[in-house]
Structure 1
Amino acid sequence: MRNKLTAVAIKNTGDGKLQDGAGLYLIKKADNGRWIFRYQLNKRRREMGLGSLDTVSLAAARKSRDKWAAMVSQGVDPIDEKRRIEDEAEKERSFSNPTFSQLTQIVFEAKKAGLRREGIAGRWTSPLDVHIIPLIGQKAVSDITVLHLKDALAPIWKKKHVTAQKALNRIRIVLRGGKRMGLNCDPDMADTAEYLLGEHIHVSEPIKATPWQEIPELFKALEGRGVAAACLQFMILTAVRSNGCRGAQFSEIEGDTWIVPADRMKGRVGKTHDFAVPLNQPALLIVEKMATFSEVFIFPGTATKNGISDTALAKTLNVLGEAGRPHGFRTSFRTWVQDNETATYDVAETALAHRTGNAIERSYARSDLLDQRRILMEKWARFVTGESAAIVDLQGRATKP
């Protein structure tokens, strides 16, 4: 039987469960109550709230029950359907006036294809996630003011200025993306916030580099000290950045050449090119020795299944009392080339995967100078190891050192 209840009966009946029929119930308590719809689908009994007696009349409750009952008859679960409708409505609200956190994610998703390793390697959102979103992330972008941005950046503006500038630049990009979407936000607020934060003269401190004259002694001290030390030696011999060396895999070695994938390179034109690195004899020997420890990564990490960590490299240098840092090996190499006039500018810069010349010059000069770099890196290896070795010239002939 349907429609058992009346408005008068509801008013005069005490607390308890009142049944209207066809799955509609009123759970009454004191002067209020709540409507529920009970149904069974796929042999599963479920109970769905339809609102309170204060806001939903008997007639409205019956209409709602009939709507959801019709879905049950079609095999649709009302609770799941209601959740889907609410999620769609939330997405619509979020897109029309998202929070700063939501807009950050929308803009990041639009940009990540053009970022290195889709923004994961550089942790593109990290400055915002750590310093900005905890403070203003839940504010709708239309409500954010210049003062909100200023106050969020103020704690790190002088103490962590480089990080603050990164966060400010990300804010600009996010607000600019919002404006392009037609949202009520102003990217110029980032510039105004920067003005209000005041001038800050940041004196950058270069990464400490081991003087090239001390590299042979350091290389020798690293011998036999484990995976991290071997990785540091490999970095010295190849002049490749930490990220490229730490993630090096045996599958990337082709004869006496190491092909570093584009996603572990920095500074290459377009950041989409693999980079060929000529491996001198000591570097090849390290690869051969490390093959007894791992099948995938040349320098495997102990805590993860990936390559060794930056922390492990730094710790090894600290134990040796070496002030220079891993990235500084590139400076050591480049200074050695310059001081000893070991190679031309183009060869030395290409060995470091740096751009040379302007865009027009690069469009014509597309050689990676691999043969010249191979000679240079053999010379470097002879210096680093202190050993005499034949150098291979461009025609493949052995020459005396």
Structure 2
Amino acid sequence: MGLGGFPNVSLAEARKLRDRWRKVAAAGRNPIREREAEQRAARREDISLAVITADAFESRKAELKGDGTAGRWLSPLTLHVLPKLGRVPVTEVDQRDIRDTLAPIWHVKAATAQKALDRLSIIIRHAAALGLDVDLQATAKARALLGKSRHQPKHIPAMDWRDVPDFYASLEEPTLTHLALRLLILTGVRSGPLRNIRLDQIGGDVWTIPAEAMKGRKGATEDFRVPLSAEAKCVIDLARPHARNGFLFPNSRNGVISDMTLSRHMERRGLEARPHGFRTSLRTWLAEATDAPHEVAEAMLAHVVDGGVVRAYRRTDYLEPRAKLADWWAKHVTGGAGQIVRIATVAK
């Protein structure tokens, strides 16, 4: 079986081809016939990693938030993998290719590298489902070659819950940035749903966030209800005059304010804490200043607890006790409650 002539096929490439086709022969299959079948398939369709990636993404869109329109699923690949391996046939991608591609970011951008590796595994399995002869263990072997990452994850800096009232009091101007930060603190939601809040999501004392907008609730089919304290409703009323195109916190380009707008405000104030850290402030207050049950405290932050079977039988989102806790948190934030909140009080 000829592998091609030099210099069109380098010595390294010839060795790789030799190893690959020897494995095919050892498995009792005909290497020449399989190569001819691949060549015919290649003439019919492009089986490059870039094309198979796009096909895999299309198949997974329904599982992704907003059908993957934000591009986050693809971004680790488009930034760090496809520029180097995009034109390579997926059948020729091996662990050394993956190792060499991800090595530059394995220790410095560990989270991104891990996402890229996980998604490459999905793409290779997708290629196998299409009937292509790929190495399903390539990513696992690449992980072994790359070794353990030296990167140490850093927690997002958070403000001590005792210091939140002073910061909240400083947000006295009725600007979009100040009002968005105030509502973020009061509700404990993530920045994404907060920045994209729509007027039609607000009904009385409840703000309903669509299921697809909730991070960390994969496969969720139910919307998430956020209880609104009197202070939170006041902030919403102050923001209503700014509303445009149905959004409570619009920007000047028909979109919504960015996450960086909120972060930069805190940076300019010389604060280490970041907007996302207010979720930690709220959760720590729940742990240290209340005796709310664990499942209620976690529900305040929309955290998923217990297994799927338990959740299937426990059909409650603890809205009523969460509403009472939201009221007490608002009182603390506005400087009106410093005492310990007992669950007996919350449960009344």
**TM bucket normalised to smaller:** 0.7 to 0.9
Distance 1:270 1:142 in 2: 32
Pairs within 5 Å for 1:258-269:
258-268=207-217
Corresponding residue number in structure 2 for 1:124: 73
Partner of 2:101: 152
* Pairing 1:189–2:138 present: yes
Residue number among 198, 204, 209 corresponding to 1:249 in the alignment? 198
CA contact (8 A) 2:109 2:151 kept: no
SS at match of 1:174: helix
Aligned to 1:169, the other structure's residue is in SS state helix
CA–CA separation in structure 2 for the residues paired with 1:260 and 1:147: 44
The residue that corresponds to 1:137 in the other structure is 86
Runs in 1 of length 4+ with deviation above 6 angstroms?
Answer: none
TM-score, normalised via structure 1 length: 0.71
CA distance in 1, matches of 2:71, 2:156: 19
Where in structure 2 are the equivalents of 1:43-62 lying within 5 Å?
Answer: none
Q: Tell me the equivalent position of 2:62.
A: 113
1:373 aligns with 2:322: yes
Aligned to 1:28: none
- How far apart are the structure 2 equivalents of 1:200 and 1:315? 30
Amino acid at match of 1:275: F
1:301 maps to which residue? Answer: 251
| CA-CA distance at 1:154 after TM superposition | 1.2
How far apart, in 2, do the equivalents of 1:370 and 1:291 lie? 25
The aligned amino acid for 2:135 is D
In the alignment, structure 1 residue 347 sits paired with structure 2 residue 296 = yes
1:141-162 superposed Cα distances (whole Å, 9 cap, x missing partner): 1222322111111111111111
TM-score (norm 2): 0.81
Question: 2: CA distance between counterparts of 1:305 and 1:200?
Answer: 41
Name the counterpart of 1:318.
Answer: 267
Counterpart of 2:50?
A: 101
In 2, the alpha carbon distance for the partners of 1:275 and 1:257 equals 10
Distance 2:325 2:113 in 1: 40
* Contact in 1 for aligned 2:186/2:330 (Cα 8 Å): yes
Structure with the higher fraction of residues in helix conformation: 2
Distance, in Å, in 2 between the alignment partners of 1:323 and 1:209 is 8
C-alpha distance after superposition, 1:160-192 (max 9, x if no partner): 111111111111110011011111211211111
Please state whether the residue corresponding to 2:316 is helix, strand or coil: coil
The answer (yes or no) to whether the contact 2:186–2:326 under 8 Å persists in 1 is yes
1:284 is matched with 233
> Which has the larger strand fraction?
1
Partner of 2:26: none
> In 1, are the aligned partners of 2:108 and 2:151 still within 8 Å (CA)?
no
Q: Does 1:329 align with 2:278?
A: yes
What SS is found at the alignment partner of 1:292? helix
Indicate how the Cα distance of structure 1 residues 311 and 254 shifts in structure 2: closer, same or farther if over 3 A, else same: same
- CA distance in 1 between partners of 2:159 and 2:314 (Å): 33
Deviation at 1:336, TM superposition (A): 0.4
Q: Over alpha carbons, which structure has the higher Rg?
A: 1
TM-superposition CA deviations, 1:253-299 (whole Å, max 9, x none): 01111001112112236233211111101111111111111241111
What SS does the aligned partner of 1:305 have? coil
More deviation in 289-298 or 107-116?
289-298
How far apart, in 1, do the equivalents of 2:164 and 2:43 lie? 56
CA offset digits 1:226-267 (Å, max 9, x no partner):
211211110100001101100001111011110011121122
Equivalents in 2 of 1:356, 1:195: separation in Å?
32
Cα distance in 1 between the residues matched to 2:218 and 2:138? 33
Greater RCO (CA < 8 Å, at least 6 residues apart): 2
Match of 1:22 in 2: none
Q: 147, 150, 163: which is aligned to 1:214?
A: 163
* Residue of structure 1 equivalent to 2:4: none
Establish whether residue 361 from structure 1 lines up as the match of residue 310 from structure 2.
Answer: yes
Deviation at 1:301, TM superposition (A): 1.7
SS of residue in 1 equivalent to 2:219: helix
- 1:97 and 1:183 in contact (8 A); partners too: no
Task: Give the conservation status (yes or no) of the 8 Å contact 2:168–2:334.
Answer: yes
Distance 1:95 1:158 in 2: 40
Does the CA-based 8 Å contact 2:174-2:239 persist in structure 1?
A: no
Question: Is 1:338 aligned to residue 283 of structure 2?
Answer: no
Shift of 1:342: 4.6
Q: CA deviation at 1:97?
A: 5.2
Deviations 1:183-228 (A, max 9, x none): 1211211111111122224321111111101000111112216211
- Give the letter for the 2:161 counterpart: W
Q: Is the 8 A contact 1:97 1:142 kept in 2?
A: no
1:120 maps to a residue whose letter is T
Alpha-carbon distance in structure 1 between the residues aligned to 2:329 and 2:251: 28
Q: Give the paired residue count.
A: 299
